[in-house]
Amino acid sequence: MVLKIGDFSSKVNIPVKTLRYYDEIGILKPNLVDKFTGYRYYDDDNLLDVQTIKLLKSLGFSLKEIKEYFDALNSDGGGVSEILERKSDEILETLEELEKRYDMINALKRKMRGKVLKLERLYR
């Protein structure tokens, strides 16, 4: 099944403008572009690509990283593991930083709680 860009846009819930941009930057090429009209047509393979794009975006991939992912996938596929590993390391690093912040906030809360208790005792 081949869909015009507007129909494809509705089906995948991505604005036409975004689909054109994805084509421009090379992460989602239409199945067919009419030489005379410039109309873009999308097929079932494009649907799978959109699902992958949405998944990668939900995992925190930037458009640049998504392009790298598709480039690796379309070459020999060997670089895909490396890209996923790099993102995994980045997420782990972010998680560790968030844990440090969380611990610092809890320490600050305990410290403030102690000060409040001292003030309450003072005014009793």
In the chain, % of residues over pLDDT 90 = 77
65-69, 72-76, 87-91: range with lowest mean pLDDT:
72-76
> DSSP H helical segments within the chain, as ranges?
5-12, 16-25, 44-58, 63-75, 79-122
Please determine, for residue 124, whether its predicted confidence score (pLDDT) is greater than 90.
Answer: no
Query: What is the residue extent of each domain of the chain?
Result: 1-77, 78-124
Q: What are 21-52's pLDDT values in tens digits? A: 999 999 999 999 999 999 999 999 999 999 99
Matching CATH number, 1-77, of 3.30.420.40, 3.40.50.720, 1.10.600.10, 1.10.1660.10 = 1.10.1660.10
pLDDT value of position 123: 65
Report d(CA 92, CA 54) in Å as an integer: 21
Q: 110: pLDDT confidence band, cut at 50, 70 and 90? A: confident
With 90 as the cut, is the pLDDT of residue 77 above it? no
User: Which backbone phi and psi does 40 adopt, to 5 degrees?
Assistant: -100, 140
